[in-house]
């Protein structure tokens, strides 16, 4: 399809925009509620409930990443963890009929504002150059240049990504560093640009904790709780990620263990830098337009 044939006013793009508008509001409201002593579970449930109140649905569980954590951390059932003087990343998603928006923001309670600023300014620089015909490696170069300028490292094994229908991560990947081979963006592409900055080495590894899962394949199980969980997963979440705490069956953890053992669902381990280091994150969703890009998750008033 040529650029002139892409209609950015179709229902698909309107759903992306609607999801982004809801998400921008929820991101700001949620970030304002993050304070020392507030519980992770309270913040996650506030954001997820607010999304539903505004007419959307969570595209994935609210990620609440602390200090060295970068992604896939979300509260467990009955979680009593509270915020301290830490670096806190909130990664939130909304979908409307499976059309997605994805955003993230760092709330710094750790006293390291420049690290939070590095990822924020890297995102601004990336958005400024994003237009049809640009290669994703060039966007990565902008991100890397800004973060390097602050004296930090980009997290090189995490990337931005495309957003599909009922798919949170699709091609193309948007790297957080310069790469020689990338994908050329075209009018109509919907992508999440997602810089991560760190005072560590710039590579994350898998931790031991898993609270987020998604459907791997269709299957059948004998256990009642596992069957109930699978029915909810396939009907409500489809292929989108979900949290253990979202499952309505009793003994949800046991049900998920059975589904995972049968390769029906797979988990997302928490991704983290080495202990003692910090990670910041900022993310927007954009639609590639004929003259640049449209930021669907921008706060009201952003140009």
Q: Which of 67, 91, 210, 273 is catalytic?
A: 91
What pLDDT is stored for residue 1 in this prediction?
Answer: 42
The two structure tokens encoding residue 288: 């590639």
pLDDT at 3 over 60: no
Q: Which of 120, 144, 199, 283 is labelled catalytic?
A: 283
Q: Is 165 a catalytic residue?
A: no
What is the share, in percent, of the chain residues with pLDDT greater than 70? 97
Tokens of 295: 């930021």
Please return the burial class of 105, using the count of CB atoms within 10 Å of its CB with bins 0-12, 13-18 and 19+: buried
Query: What pLDDT, in 10s, does the model give residues 135-153?
Result: 999 999 999 999 999 999 9
Q: If you average pLDDT over residues 271-276, what whole number do you get?
A: 97
Beta-carbon count within 10 A of 13 CB: 19
Q: Is 26 helix (H, G, I), strand (E, B) or coil?
A: helix
Query: Which residues does residue 160 pair with via DSSP β-bridges, in sequence order?
Result: 174
Mean model confidence pLDDT for the chain: 96
Determine if the pTM surpasses 0.85. yes
Q: Does the active-site annotation cover 91? A: yes
> Distance between CA atoms of 166 and 241, rounded to whole angstroms?
10
Active site residue 194: yes
Predicted local distance difference test score (pLDDT) of residue 20: 98
Is the pLDDT at 4 greater than 70? The verdict is no
Mean pLDDT of 233-249: 97
Rounded Cα distance, 127 and 168, in Å: 20
- Choose, from 48, 67, 69, 102, the residue flagged as catalytic: 102
Residue 131: per-residue pLDDT: 98
87 in Cβ contact with 120 (< 8 Å): no
Q: How does residue 295 score in pLDDT terms, banded at 50, 70 and 90? A: very high
Q: Which of 67, 161, 189, 211 is catalytic?
A: 161
User: Taking 50 as the threshold, does the pLDDT of residue 78 lie above it?
Assistant: yes
CA nearest to 80, candidates 40, 48, 47: 40
Q: Residue 133 above 90 pLDDT?
A: yes
Q: Are 214 and 166 in contact (CB under 8 A)?
A: no
Catalytic residue (choose from 148, 165, 167, 169): 169
Give yes or no for a contact between 279 and 198, defined as CB atoms under 8 angstroms apart: yes
The reported pLDDT for the residue numbered 255 is 96
In which band, very low, low, confident or very high, does the pLDDT at 301 lie, cut at 50, 70 and 90?
low
Q: Which of 18, 86, 117, 194 is labelled catalytic? A: 194
How does pLDDT run across 161-190, given as a tens digit for each residue?
A: 999 999 999 999 999 999 988 999 999 999
Which residue did the predictor score with more confidence, 199 or 301? 199
Q: What would the mean pLDDT of 218-231 be, rounded to a whole number?
A: 94
For residue 211, what pLDDT is reported?
97
């Amino acid at each position: 399809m040529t650029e002139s044939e892409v209609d950015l006013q179709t229902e698909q793009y309107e759903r992306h925009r609607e999801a982004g508008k809801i998400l921008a509001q929820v991101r700001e409201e949620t970030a304002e509620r993050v304070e020392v002593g507030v519980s992770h579970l309270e913040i996650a449930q506030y954001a997820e409930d607010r999304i539903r109140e505004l007419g959307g649905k969570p595209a994935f569980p609210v990620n609440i990443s602390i200090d060295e954590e970068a992604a896939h951390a979300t509260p467990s059932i009955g979680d009593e963890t509270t915020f301290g003087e830490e670096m806190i990343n909130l990664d939130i998603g909304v979908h409307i009929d499976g059309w997605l928006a994805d955003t993230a923001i760092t709330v710094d309670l750790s006293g390291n504002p420049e690290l939070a600023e590095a990822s924020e300014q890297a995102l601004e620089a990336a958005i400024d150059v994003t237009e049809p015909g640009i290669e994703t490696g060039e966007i990565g170069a902008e991100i890397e240049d800004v973060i390097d300028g602050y004296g930090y490292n980009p997290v090189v094994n995490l990337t931005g990504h495309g957003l599909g229908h009922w798919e949170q991560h699709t091609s193309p990947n948007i790297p957080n560093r310069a790469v020689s081979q990338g994908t050329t963006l075209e009018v109509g592409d919907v992508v999440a640009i997602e810089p991560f900055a760190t005072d560590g080495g710039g590579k994350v590894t898998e931790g031991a904790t898993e609270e987020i899962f998604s459907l791997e394949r269709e299957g059948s199980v004998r256990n009642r709780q596992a069957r109930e969980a699978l029915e909810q997963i396939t009907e409500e979440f489809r292929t989108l990620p979900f949290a253990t705490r979202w499952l309505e069956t009793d003994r949800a953890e046991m049900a998920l263990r059975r589904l995972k053992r049968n390769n029906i669902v797979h988990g997302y381990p928490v991704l983290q830098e080495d202990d003692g280091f910090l990670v910041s994150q900022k993310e927007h969703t954009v639609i590639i337009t004929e003259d640049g890009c449209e930021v669907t998750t921008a706060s009201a008033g952003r140009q």
